[in-house]
């Protein structure tokens, strides 16, 4: 009885540390946890299964990741990691020259980038984001094209087939694209099929395309891979990912640009 009484507290301590690491890094590896806790791989796998059964994480090959299925509402995301998004915006803005045609994806990180472009002149902005269009229309020497489509109230942006067709009409120097997550294997993903297709189209029409990814999305699993993600010119982030994810991105040919 005494031995069994000790097992549960030890398991609870492991579970707490596992969830803490996932909250910080986005994922955990079985071998690293086994070494850290001094237990077998089988024990860690049982821990991960228990946490997955409680819907606190997602078990993946070799470890576990955050459980993500529905993207938070736009208003909630605006205040999340605002400093990190501002740093990403500053780094991305340094890539942009006067006179460029830019395709800005919807999202709070691309909105931060739009705010960082006040010193640029003679820009042409193509976007489906209502917030970005409203902001950029007030900037001097800036032309704004609001790409057509049905408005998604959760994203406050246009989506759908009309949006896909509108993207294809423009000659784009640079596209800046948001993502749902970056898997432990370096796959850049989205929450919905139409979102993944729109972002793939943005990559295809731009001379250079960049993902804007705040560090909280590293290790996050969402359902749909963005086709053509290996063709981007770089991934701009506020904080480097774990070595495993950085190596995976390098193998996929996606350069990291950190702030």
DSSP string for 54-114: TTS-EEETTEEEEE--SPPPHHHHHTTTHHHHHHHHHHHHTT--TT-EEEE-SSHHHHHHH
Residue 1 has pLDDT above 70, yes or no: no
pLDDT at 247 over 90: yes
CATH 1.10.10.10 domain span(s) along the chain: 2-67
CATH class of 2-67: mainly alpha
Q: What is the pLDDT of residues 88-128, one digit of tens each?
A: 999 999 999 999 999 999 999 999 999 999 999 999 999 99
Q: What is the structure's pLDDT at 4?
A: 47
Phi-psi category of residue 242: left, alpha or beta, with phi > 0 → left and psi -120 to 50 → alpha = beta
User: pLDDT band for position 81 (50/70/90)?
Assistant: confident
Kindly tell me if the per-residue pLDDT of 9 is higher than 90: no
Domain 74-258 fold is Rossmann fold (3.40.50)
Q: Where in the chain is the domain with CATH 3.40.50.1360?
A: 74-258
Q: Which helix (H) or strand (E) holds 128?
A: none
Residue 161 has pLDDT above 50, yes or no: yes
The answer to whether 18 and 28 are in contact (CB under 8 A) is: yes
Residue 78, pLDDT score:
62
**CA 65, 223, 159, 151: dihedral to nearest 10 degrees?**
-60
Distance of CA 207 to the CA centre of its chain: 21
**pLDDT for residue 175 is more than 70:** yes
């Amino acid at each position: 009885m005494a031995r069994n009484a000790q097992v549960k507290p030890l398991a609870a301590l492991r579970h707490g540390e596992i969830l803490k690491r996932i909250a910080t890094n986005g994922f955990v590896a079985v071998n690293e946890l086994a070494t850290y806790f001094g237990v077998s791989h089988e024990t860690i796998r049982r821990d991960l299964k228990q946490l997955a059964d409680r819907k606190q994480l997602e078990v993946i090959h070799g470890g576990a990741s955050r459980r993500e299925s529905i993207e938070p509402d736009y208003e909630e995301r605006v205040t999340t990691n605002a400093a990190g998004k501002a740093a990403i915006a500053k780094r991305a803005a340094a890539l942009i020259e006067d006179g460029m045609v830019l395709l800005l994806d919807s999202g709070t990180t691309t909105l931060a980038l739009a705010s960082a472009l006040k010193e640029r002149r003679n820009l042409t902005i193509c976007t489906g984001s209502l917030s970005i269009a409203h902001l950029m229309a007030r900037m001097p020497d800036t032309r704004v094209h609001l790409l057509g489509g049905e408005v998604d109230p959760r994203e406050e942006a246009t989506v759908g087939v009309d949006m896909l067709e509108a993207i294809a009409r423009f000659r784009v120097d640079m596209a800046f694209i948001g993502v749902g997550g970056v898997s432990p294997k370096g796959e850049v993903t989205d929450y919905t099929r139409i979102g993944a297709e729109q972002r793939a189209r943005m990559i295809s029409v731009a001379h250079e395309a960049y993902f804007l990814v705040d560090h909280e999305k590293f290790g996050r699993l969402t359902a749909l891979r963005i086709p053509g993600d290996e063709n981007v010119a770089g991934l701009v982030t506020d904080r480097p990912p774990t070595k495993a994810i950085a190596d995976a991105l390098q193998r996929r040919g996606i350069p990291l640009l950190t702030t």
